[in-house]
Structure 1
Amino acid sequence: MKIAIFTDTFDPDINGVARTLKRFTDYLSEQNISFKIFAPKSQSDDYVTSHIHRFKSLSFFLYPECRLAFPNLSQVKSELQDFAPDLIHVATPFNIGLCGAYYAKKLNIPLVGSYHTDFDHYLQFYNMEFLSKLLWRYMNWFHRPFKKIFVPSKDTLEKLKRHRFTNLELWGRGVDCNLYHPHYGKKAVRKQYDIQKKYLLTYVGRLAPEKDVKTLLAIAKSIPANINEQIQWLIIGDGPMRDELEAEAPENMKFTGYLRGGNLAEVYSASDVFVFPSPTETFGNVVLEALASGTPVIAANAGGVKHIIQEGVTGHLCQPGDVQQFTDSLMHLLAHDQVRGRMGIEGRNYAITQKWDAIFDQLLWHYAHVIEEPKQQKFA
């Protein structure tokens, strides 16, 4: 099997799409499956390999980590013909994704895609709801030729069904439980970030409107003073709202920028509670990483996240934007050490069952079915 992947974001970009695709291509390498990636040049092209073709690009205003590239069409066609893929997988609906869909049709290559980002939900956070109908019209047109559309959660699948998408399949997410685990040295993390307070609360993600980080700030400010003086927040991530948040943040909130690998895993492990108010997640990789680290999660009861958290067992789900409900849930967990400990164990137990290899094996099964379908039709 030979696979061509067209995506407008890839490693070293830090977002769920790029990380998932990097994990997938690592798996393909381990399985000795040939692949070629067509992706934009990022701001820091540390990932160099013959498997990838990069294009000049600019940041997309709604989602700077997803870039608008300018592919050389004749060059793409030549590389595709030389590589002769059995299947094209398009991961994003921008320029490179359009290029992949175009050449799948032109060269008669089976086409599948994946739906990762709820751009329609983003619009309300940028006062652009008036574009919703136009966006869905485009999304329907763009995805119509795909033999399969892989979605990360039941919530996304049901939403796309309501918008008359077809050929939908679940493609969940796993977690590396060897990297993310509860057994890192918590004292070392506290020393590194000079944490003197009793409790460590964390958030991981983009600092952008669609993540509802304003609610996160409101939660931090609504905690009673006698409890608040025992709390240290670590805000891990970056984005367009970082300067504004830092200016408004209480004294017990530190901003680290993005962390990766072991540095990120250590902070998850040392945290008492992970707080994630984003209502726009199609999955919520960071939530699963926190659970794998033995850390209970308080999150918005929305999107893919609501299918990861088991209410009262591995964490709490709150009405999106409801500062009081988030605060009450947080206060309850901080007041009950045994409940937090039990939730941490249950979260870890759940995360262990979410294995990347099994998820990717299932994806390859779907690939094989799509590839074989024209041959079966030919000889029917």
Structure 2
Amino acid sequence: MKVLLYAEATRLISKSGIGTAYKHQMEALRRAGLDYTSDWEDEYDIAHVNTVGPGAKTVVQHCKRKNIPVIWHVHTTAEDIKNSFIFSNFYARVSRNSLKKKYAMADHLIFPTHYTETVIRNYGIHVPGTVISNGVDTAMFKKDVDKAQKFRERFGIKGPIVLGVGFPFKRKGIHDFVSVARRMKDLTFIWFGARITSVLPREIRQILKNPPENVIFPGFISQEELVGAYSAADVFFFPTYEENEGIVVLEALSCECPVVVRDIPVYENWLWHGTNCMKGHSNEEFEKIIKALVADKSLGLKIASEGRKTALERDLSEIGKLLTKTYESVLRRCKG
């Protein structure tokens, strides 16, 4: 069996969650011993599509003509487009029907979480599907004391660190991250993520341009440096309002960095408050939780240890097995 792993505009999405998920699929299939190609004009038995642009639609139509089964990976929903870039709310409104038509063309869907499946089913899409995490490379993302020290030295930080990672979108809660930082001036807050300021609303551009003294926005960093950041941080604070999974959350869990998230549906049934993470509903709650984790190292260690177990369940080797099983099932169903 040979698989097409397809994503368009790979350079453009390379610093995004979709780009990371795409790379994860390549590594997962390599570990599973499956042959794959990224060239849609190549020969292959099944197509696994990751993006929703015009190129993806062309590939799907090509596969339909060739009687090649298509799996569409649901990374994009109308809900997670909102409150991101300029005009994103308008685009979210008009994109729902477009996404519905595209996903309905597939023979099978892959959802990163049960939450994403619920969202898509509410669109009225009844294509068969499977829930498979985007996964995390637990061998790469593991706590590293040396990298943590280098990270602290690079930024000259001796005290507690609160870390955030992702595009600085309002949807990701960047404004709440900064608001909580203003309340906790004795801690250093750092948010890593590509600063695509040209597409950000004025409100967010102003936050990035004039942050509080204890907030740093260094931009995008390499995975190796990110391991150092997760390893050095006392708390990973991710107050996002909408996600389909959150690969950065998996990375933080894998590096045994205590995770604090907003209590939203995507985290139900795999992240549990007080066990493998801490959840809050407001900035006041986030402040209390972060203070507790910084003050009580034993609580942080307990949360972090359970978080690592959660990440190991989603290691790319396990994802490779699940993808293989799904491909084989879809091929049997579609080819008889």
| Partner in structure 1 of residue 231 of structure 2 | 269
Question: Per-residue CA shift, 1:296-324, capped at 9, x if unaligned?
Answer: 111112253445432012221122xx222
Uncovered stretches (5+) of structure 1, i.e. residues with no partner: 39-75
Residue-by-residue CA offset, 1:200-245 (whole Å, 9 max, x unaligned): 111111112321211111111123xxxx22x112221123257533
Alignment pair present for 1:87 and 2:46:
yes
Tell me the residue number matched to 2:288. 328
Relative contact order higher in (CA < 8 Å, ≥ 6 apart): 2
Q: Tell me what 1:10 maps to.
A: 10
**Structure 1 counterpart of 2:210:** 248
One-letter amino acid of the counterpart of residue 193, structure 1 = F
**Closer/same/farther in 2, CA of residues 118 and 137 from structure 1, 3 Å limit:** closer
Alignment of 1:27-176 (within 5 A): 27-38=28-39, 80=41, 83-124=42-83, 129=89, 132=92, 134-166=94-126, 167-176=128-137
What value does the CA root-mean-square deviation take over the aligned residues? 2.2
Cα distance 1:367–1:244, how it changes in 2: closer, same or farther (>3 A)? same
| Contact map agreement 1:10 1:19 (CA 8 A) in 2 | no
Partner of 2:161: 200
Whether 1:352 and 2:312 are equivalent positions in the alignment is: yes
Q: Which residue pairs with 1:26 in the alignment?
A: 27
How far apart in 2 are the matches of 1:104 and 1:94? 16
What CA distance in whole angstroms lies between the structure 2 residues aligned with 1:103 and 1:34? Answer: 20
Instruction: Tell me by how many angstroms 1:132 deviates.
Output: 4.9
Contact 1:281 1:303 in 2 (8 A): no
Report the TM-score, using the length of structure 2 for normalisation: 0.89
Is the CA contact (8 Å cut-off) linking 1:300 and 1:306 kept in structure 2?
A: no
Paired residues of 1:292 and 1:347 also in contact (CA < 8 A): yes
Look at both structures and tell me which one has the larger radius of gyration over its CA atoms.
Answer: 1
Q: Please report the TM-score for the alignment, with normalisation by the length of structure 1.
A: 0.79
Equivalent in 246, 250, 253 of residue 291 of structure 1? 253
C-alpha offsets along residues 250-291 of structure 1, whole Å, 9 cap, x if unaligned?
A: 111222221222211011011100110112210111111111
Which amino acid in 2 is paired with 1:264? L
**Displacement of 1:145:** 2.2
Aligned-residue identity in percent:
20
Q: Secondary structure at the match of 1:175?
A: coil
| 1:25 maps to amino acid | M
- The question of 1:216 aligning with 2:172 is answered no
Letter in 2 for 1:141: K
The CA distance in 1 between the partners of 2:15 and 2:276, in whole Å, is 26
SS at match of 1:349: helix
Q: Secondary structure at the match of 2:81?
A: helix
Give 5+ residue unaligned stretches, structure 2: none
Mapped partners of 1:9, 1:317: distance in 2: 35
1:25 counterpart SS class? helix
**Offset of residue 173 of structure 1:** 2.7
Deviations 1:358-379 (A, max 9, x none): 2221112111122222432xxx
Are 1:287 and 1:308, in contact at CA under 8 Å, matched by a contact in 2? no
Q: 1:95 offset after TM fit, Å?
A: 1.2
Number of matched pairs = 326
Alpha-carbon shift at residue 124 of structure 1 (Å) = 4.6
Letter in 2 for 1:177: T
Larger mean CA deviation between 274-283 and 251-260 belongs to 251-260
2: distance between equivalents of 1:279 and 1:369?
A: 34
Higher strand share: 1
Amino acid at match of 1:93: V
Q: Write the distance in 2 (CA, Å) between the matches of 1:121 and 1:374.
A: 31
Equivalent residue of 1:351, what SS?
A: helix
Distance 1:364 1:31, change over 3 A: closer
